[in-house]
Structure 1
Amino acid sequence: MELATLRDRLAVDDVITGYAVAVDDGDWAAYRGLFTPDGRADYRSAGGIEGDAGSVAAWLAESLGAFAMRQHLIVNRRVRFGTLEQDTGDTARVQADYVNPMGFAADGAGPAAPDLVCGGRYAFGLLRTGDGWRLSEVVIREKWRRLPGRTGAAATG
């Protein structure tokens, strides 16, 4: 593997990790900063919206606000580099699985067990820009969800 490819793989991985941290921490400015100016996200399979990064960040801030605890785990990352205008390596596709436990505000008695856990697969599209790798597209495919007071996992699509 060439050194440049290895550097790109690490940089792309850093963007994906930054995405998870921004969502978990509710850092919506950082979330928006991970995207290209025309970048889009699609959360429809999880009951959300599809739109530009700013609109989706506002929707996430509102819909995730009830959860004081979020711990987004993105694993099994498969990275594939592509071409743009004949230059190898200017685009990347990442397929990755996720598990996302979330908990409502605790009553002050210490950490609470998650009230909602969901999992599925992401499809990330990235583009090399003058500012480094940025997300051009995020598509979430929720596969299952475990809700409060229920055992087992419910398939969502």
Structure 2
Amino acid sequence: MTQRAELATVMDRLAVDELITAYAVAVDDGDWTAYRGLFTADGRADYRSAGGIEGGAGQVAGWLAESLTLFAMRQHLIVNRRLRFDVLEHDTGDTASVRADYLNPMRVAADGGPTAPDLVCGGRYAFALLRTSQGWRLSEVVVEEKWRRLRAESAPAS
């Protein structure tokens, strides 16, 4: 591999990493316009394993906007990212796939203040990406929730 090809691969890896991070930030911040903008025009997401829906990015963004109002705080951590570049139409590097684990603690919105219960879940994402004229975009996101826990915090010590 030439230095030019190696540099291009590094730049693509950084761009893909930025896209995955932008996905987590958009969900955590409830920025559904940004969320939709991360996908290709025909991009899809599948949250069925976590009790959600599967559909186009716009439809799923609407469902997320409604269902995540239950949570006053979300902090999505996407880790252990494994990236592969794939071939499309006899060229290299047009598509990519990322398998990554996630940990997602969320604070339930309640009038009880800091004693409100937390929901914590974890699992794995499968991201499919496509290089477009606007840069890398998500063509598919599949969530594989592996576990979840709902717990109430302990009362503060007196």
TM-score in terms of structure 2 length: 0.89
Structure 1: distance between partners of 2:134 and 2:94: 13
* Secondary structure of the structure 1 residue equivalent to 2:45: strand
- Runs (4+) of structure 1 moved beyond 6 Å? none
Pairing 1:42-121 to 2, within 5 Å after superposition:
42-105=46-109, 107=111, 115-121=118-124
Amino acid aligned to 2:148: R
* Secondary structure of the structure 1 residue equivalent to 2:147: strand
**1:147 and 2:158 correspond:** no
Could you say which residue in structure 1 is the equivalent of 2:13?
9
Question: 1:74·1:96 contact (CA, 8 Å) conserved in 2?
Answer: yes
State the Cα distance separating 1:117 from its structure 2 match.
0.1
**1:138 and 2:141 correspond:** yes
Structure 2: distance between partners of 1:73 and 1:144: 15
Question: 1:96·1:123 contact (CA, 8 Å) conserved in 2?
Answer: yes
Q: How many residues align?
A: 149
Q: 1:113 to 1:8 in 2, by over 3 A?
A: farther
Question: 2:117·2:150 contact (CA, 8 Å) conserved in 1?
Answer: no
Question: 2:86·2:92 contact (CA, 8 Å) conserved in 1?
Answer: yes
Q: 1:71 to 1:113 in 2, by over 3 A?
A: farther
Structure 1: distance between partners of 2:121 and 2:98: 20
State the Cα distance separating 1:106 from its structure 2 match.
5.8
Structure 2: distance between partners of 1:112 and 1:137: 37
Structure 2: distance between partners of 1:30 and 1:108: 31
Structure 1 residue ranges without an equivalent (≥5) = 151-157
Q: 1:144 to 1:89 in 2, by over 3 A?
A: same
Q: Larger % of helix: which?
A: 2
Q: 1:126 to 1:114 in 2, by over 3 A?
A: farther
Could you say which residue in structure 2 is the equivalent of 1:155?
none
Q: Sequence identity, in percent?
A: 79
**1:128 and 2:135 correspond:** no
State the Cα distance separating 1:15 from its structure 2 match.
0.4
Q: RMSD between aligned alpha carbons?
A: 1.8
